[in-house]
Amino acid sequence: MKLLEKVIAEKGEIIGNDIVKVDMFLNHQIDIHLLQEIGKEFRRLFTEDINKIVTIEASGIGVACIAAQYFDVPVVFAKKGNHRNVGNDIYSGEVFSFTKGITTKIGISKRYLTKDDKILIIDDFLANGGAVKGLIGIAEQAGAAVQGIGIVIEKGFQPGGNELRKAGYHLESLAIINSIENGRITFG
Amino acid sequence: MKLLEKVIAEKGEIIGNDIVKVDMFLNHQIDIHLLQEIGKEFRRLFTEDINKIVTIEASGIGVACIAAQYFDVPVVFAKKGNHRNVGNDIYSGEVFSFTKGITTKIGISKRYLTKDDKILIIDDFLANGGAVKGLIGIAEQAGAAVQGIGIVIEKGFQPGGNELRKAGYHLESLAIINSIENGRITFG
């Protein structure tokens, strides 16, 4: 998605050779117009039968909600941590974050994901794929069908994306960063 | 907002005399059509000059992003916890949650909130007001003007809302729950 690559190149803040901070438009401050274009692009790319968008808190929620308008479906977001007031009535998984070096529990109530659901997983970033794999695990527990995976920015030099494609998932990343060298980003 | 009261009465799950779970349409599964109506209602109620919507992760993000479309402004959400990659360049505060019995640190990067900002604070719930007061504290540090506070559901039998009104803030709650007794909700 050319518009997205342009915004990343112009506004993204490069740190070393593997981090691009995009908190000025995607995951701290949020450019709603850009999210609308992202939502429309996901709608164009995923023609599968989809009745629900599934994401994970926190920064996936904005993208998922704006995109859901174009699919005309509800959003369900996985919660992080131990949620006593969700009770034991949840499907749960674990997500290891290489960035933070920690494992986080995630969960979705059994009420909001069932074998009848045909879901599109949406998230803002894909690197090693921990969050998406955690959501796939939860979908498997529920018997829900993962119809597609929509990612805003994929780090192509990390393995998550290719592992998911090899596993047969319809994965679409709107921008794929192939490398960051000497302060320059190359897109795939 | 009659539509919202209707949805709460029909779908909200009452627990004891002080909790209404609304995770089937607001803060776990999200009804996007309802959020659109909520966003339009906030737009109608706040005629102040507003250039940014400020909320707090996680469940405020969906409401804030959908509403931001009608105001045509960006969203900034406060992050919870210690965020090392935000650095020390943040305005921070603390939020005590009576529900969870814990204090959480929140922060917004100094880049995304300044003395030129005229903000609308949006959140899904208001009870004791800890989250909103934490955001007001951050706005004060930044010198930003709090033009309004938009809440989806206020628990009128808890003190946060009236404290904020007495302090002079333009607070609008789309549904105010005055009491929960014998499984019935009375709205204010």
Could you tell me if residue A182 is inside a domain? Answer: no
Q: Which structural domain range is residue A133 located in?
A: 32-176
B14/A contact by beta carbon, under 8 A:
no
Could you tell me if residue A11 is inside a domain? Answer: no
**Distances from the Cα of A94 to the Cα of A97, A114, A138, angstroms:** 10, 19, 10
Could you tell me if residue A22 is inside a domain? Answer: no
Give the integer Cα–Cα distance in Å for A166 and B77: 35
In CATH, what number is assigned to the domain containing residue A87? 3.40.50.2020
A6/B contact by beta carbon, under 8 A:
no
pLDDT tens across A111-154, in order?
A: 999 999 999 999 999 999 999 999 999 999 999 999 999 999 99
- The predicted pLDDT at position A86 comes to 52
Cβ pair B112:A28 closer than 8 A: yes
pLDDT tens across B126-148, in order?
A: 999 999 999 999 999 999 999 99
Interface test with B, best of A11, A22, A30 (most B CBs within 10 A): A30
| Tokens at A151, concatenated | 């990612």
Could you tell me if residue A130 is inside a domain? Answer: yes
- The predicted pLDDT at position A84 comes to 54
Could you tell me if residue A45 is inside a domain? Answer: yes
Number of domains within chain A? 1
Q: How far is A186 from chain B (nearest CA, A)?
A: 23
Average pLDDT, chain A: 95
Query: Does an H or E element contain B7, and which?
Result: helix B2-11
Could you tell me if residue A17 is inside a domain? Answer: no
Contact indicator for A99, A54 with CB cutoff of 8 Å: no
pLDDT tens across B17-37, in order?
A: 889 999 999 999 999 999 999
Q: How far is A166 from chain B (nearest CA, A)?
A: 30
Could you tell me if residue A73 is inside a domain? Answer: yes
pLDDT tens across A20-50, in order?
A: 999 999 999 999 999 999 999 999 999 999 9
Chain A nearest-CA residue for B30: A75
Q: Is the peptide bond before B127 cis (omega within 30 degrees of 0)?
A: no
Q: How far is B169 from chain A (nearest CA, A)?
A: 24
Burial classification of residue A131, based on how many CB atoms lie within 10 Å of its CB (0-12 exposed, 13-18 middle, 19 or more buried): buried
Cβ-Cβ contacts under 8 Å between A and B: the total is 109
Could you tell me if residue A168 is inside a domain? Answer: yes
pTM of the predicted protein model:
0.96
